[in-house]
Amino acid sequence: MQIQLHPITKHNWETCISLKVQKEQERFVAGNLYSLAESKFETSFLPLGIYAENKMIGFAMVGKDSEDGVYWLVRFMIDKDHQGKGYGFAALQIILSFMKSRFDVSPFLLLGVTPENTQAIRLYQKAGFIDTGKKENGEAIYRLELY
Protein backbone atom coordinates (compact mmCIF):
# COMPACT_ATOMS: atom_id res chain seq x y z
CA MET A 1 0.00 0.00 0.00
CA GLN A 2 1.64 3.20 -1.21
CA ILE A 3 0.57 6.25 0.81
CA GLN A 4 1.89 9.72 0.03
CA LEU A 5 1.41 13.17 1.51
CA HIS A 6 1.07 16.25 -0.66
CA PRO A 7 0.50 19.86 0.44
CA ILE A 8 -2.94 21.29 -0.18
CA THR A 9 -2.60 23.85 -2.97
CA LYS A 10 -4.76 25.78 -5.41
CA HIS A 11 -4.69 22.65 -7.57
CA ASN A 12 -6.17 20.18 -5.08
CA TRP A 13 -8.08 22.14 -2.44
CA GLU A 14 -11.46 21.45 -4.03
CA THR A 15 -10.82 17.71 -3.94
CA CYS A 16 -9.81 18.11 -0.30
CA ILE A 17 -13.04 19.83 0.72
CA SER A 18 -15.10 17.19 -1.10
CA LEU A 19 -13.77 14.46 1.22
CA LYS A 20 -16.23 13.48 3.95
CA VAL A 21 -16.31 11.14 6.93
CA GLN A 22 -19.25 8.86 7.75
CA LYS A 23 -22.34 10.78 8.88
CA GLU A 24 -21.99 9.47 12.45
CA GLN A 25 -18.35 10.65 12.53
CA GLU A 26 -19.08 14.27 11.58
CA ARG A 27 -19.33 15.34 15.24
CA PHE A 28 -15.79 14.11 15.87
CA VAL A 29 -13.76 16.07 13.32
CA ALA A 30 -13.93 19.56 11.83
CA GLY A 31 -14.65 19.69 8.12
CA ASN A 32 -11.77 20.12 5.72
CA LEU A 33 -12.98 23.53 4.54
CA TYR A 34 -12.86 24.79 8.14
CA SER A 35 -9.39 23.28 8.55
CA LEU A 36 -8.09 24.98 5.41
CA ALA A 37 -9.46 28.31 6.64
CA GLU A 38 -7.85 27.72 10.06
CA SER A 39 -4.49 27.05 8.40
CA LYS A 40 -4.54 30.56 6.93
CA PHE A 41 -4.58 32.05 10.43
CA GLU A 42 -2.53 29.41 12.26
CA THR A 43 0.33 29.76 9.80
CA SER A 44 2.46 27.04 11.38
CA PHE A 45 -0.26 24.49 10.57
CA LEU A 46 0.41 22.54 7.38
CA PRO A 47 -2.60 21.02 5.60
CA LEU A 48 -1.77 17.80 3.75
CA GLY A 49 -3.65 15.57 1.35
CA ILE A 50 -3.31 11.85 1.97
CA TYR A 51 -2.97 10.01 -1.33
CA ALA A 52 -3.26 6.35 -2.30
CA GLU A 53 -2.56 5.40 -5.92
CA ASN A 54 -2.48 9.09 -6.91
CA LYS A 55 -5.96 9.73 -5.50
CA MET A 56 -6.65 11.91 -2.46
CA ILE A 57 -8.30 9.68 0.12
CA GLY A 58 -7.79 11.70 3.28
CA PHE A 59 -6.61 14.86 4.96
CA ALA A 60 -4.27 15.72 7.81
CA MET A 61 -3.06 18.95 9.34
CA VAL A 62 0.08 19.10 11.44
CA GLY A 63 2.05 21.87 13.04
CA LYS A 64 3.26 23.80 16.01
CA ASP A 65 0.61 25.37 18.21
CA SER A 66 1.29 29.10 18.50
CA GLU A 67 0.03 29.13 22.10
CA ASP A 68 1.98 26.25 23.63
CA GLY A 69 4.83 25.68 21.14
CA VAL A 70 4.00 21.96 20.98
CA TYR A 71 3.61 20.00 17.75
CA TRP A 72 0.17 18.55 17.14
CA LEU A 73 -1.62 16.30 14.73
CA VAL A 74 -4.37 18.87 14.47
CA ARG A 75 -6.66 17.03 12.03
CA PHE A 76 -6.79 13.55 10.59
CA MET A 77 -9.49 12.00 8.47
CA ILE A 78 -9.94 9.31 5.84
CA ASP A 79 -12.80 9.74 3.36
CA LYS A 80 -15.83 7.55 4.07
CA ASP A 81 -15.37 5.64 0.80
CA HIS A 82 -11.84 4.63 1.80
CA GLN A 83 -12.28 3.70 5.46
CA GLY A 84 -11.74 0.13 6.64
CA LYS A 85 -8.98 -0.58 4.12
CA GLY A 86 -5.95 0.02 6.33
CA TYR A 87 -5.29 3.50 4.96
CA GLY A 88 -5.66 5.19 8.35
CA PHE A 89 -2.86 3.28 10.06
CA ALA A 90 -0.60 3.45 6.99
CA ALA A 91 -1.20 7.20 6.68
CA LEU A 92 -0.39 7.75 10.37
CA GLN A 93 2.96 6.01 9.90
CA ILE A 94 3.78 8.27 6.93
CA ILE A 95 2.70 11.37 8.86
CA LEU A 96 4.92 10.41 11.81
CA SER A 97 7.91 9.89 9.50
CA PHE A 98 7.13 13.22 7.85
CA MET A 99 7.01 14.98 11.23
CA LYS A 100 10.38 13.55 12.24
CA SER A 101 12.06 14.54 8.98
CA ARG A 102 10.40 17.85 8.14
CA PHE A 103 10.15 19.68 11.42
CA ASP A 104 12.56 20.44 14.21
CA VAL A 105 10.01 18.90 16.51
CA SER A 106 9.92 18.24 20.19
CA PRO A 107 10.45 14.62 21.19
CA PHE A 108 6.68 14.06 21.28
CA LEU A 109 3.53 14.74 19.26
CA LEU A 110 0.08 15.46 20.70
CA LEU A 111 -3.43 15.05 19.37
CA GLY A 112 -6.91 15.55 20.75
CA VAL A 113 -9.72 13.06 20.26
CA THR A 114 -13.33 13.04 21.37
CA PRO A 115 -13.63 10.28 24.02
CA GLU A 116 -16.67 8.79 22.21
CA ASN A 117 -14.64 8.34 19.02
CA THR A 118 -13.59 4.81 19.92
CA GLN A 119 -12.65 3.89 16.35
CA ALA A 120 -10.09 6.73 16.20
CA ILE A 121 -8.82 5.96 19.70
CA ARG A 122 -8.11 2.34 18.72
CA LEU A 123 -6.23 3.56 15.64
CA TYR A 124 -4.16 6.07 17.62
CA GLN A 125 -3.34 3.51 20.32
CA LYS A 126 -2.29 1.00 17.65
CA ALA A 127 0.11 3.67 16.35
CA GLY A 128 1.58 4.11 19.84
CA PHE A 129 -0.29 7.15 21.18
CA ILE A 130 -0.93 7.09 24.95
CA ASP A 131 -3.77 8.84 26.77
CA THR A 132 -2.23 11.57 28.93
CA GLY A 133 -5.28 11.76 31.20
CA LYS A 134 -5.65 15.44 30.30
CA LYS A 135 -8.58 17.03 28.51
CA GLU A 136 -8.73 20.15 26.37
CA ASN A 137 -11.92 21.55 24.83
CA GLY A 138 -13.71 18.29 25.65
CA GLU A 139 -11.10 16.14 23.91
CA ALA A 140 -8.79 13.58 25.49
CA ILE A 141 -5.15 14.45 24.81
CA TYR A 142 -2.95 11.65 23.48
CA ARG A 143 0.83 11.73 23.26
CA LEU A 144 3.34 9.84 21.15
CA GLU A 145 7.04 9.80 21.88
CA LEU A 146 8.83 10.45 18.57
CA TYR A 147 12.39 9.88 19.76
Residue 105 reports pLDDT greater than 70: no
- Residue range 126-147: average pLDDT? 95
Min mean pLDDT across 22-36, 55-69, 103-117 is at 103-117
- What class is the 1-105 domain? alpha beta
For position 23, what pLDDT does the model report?
Answer: 96
Residue 109 near residue 99, CB atoms below 8 Å = yes
Identity of the residue numbered 42: E
| Domains of the chain by residue range | 1-105
For position 48, what pLDDT does the model report?
Answer: 98
Chain segment 35-59, per-residue pLDDT in tens: 999 999 999 999 999 999 999 999 9
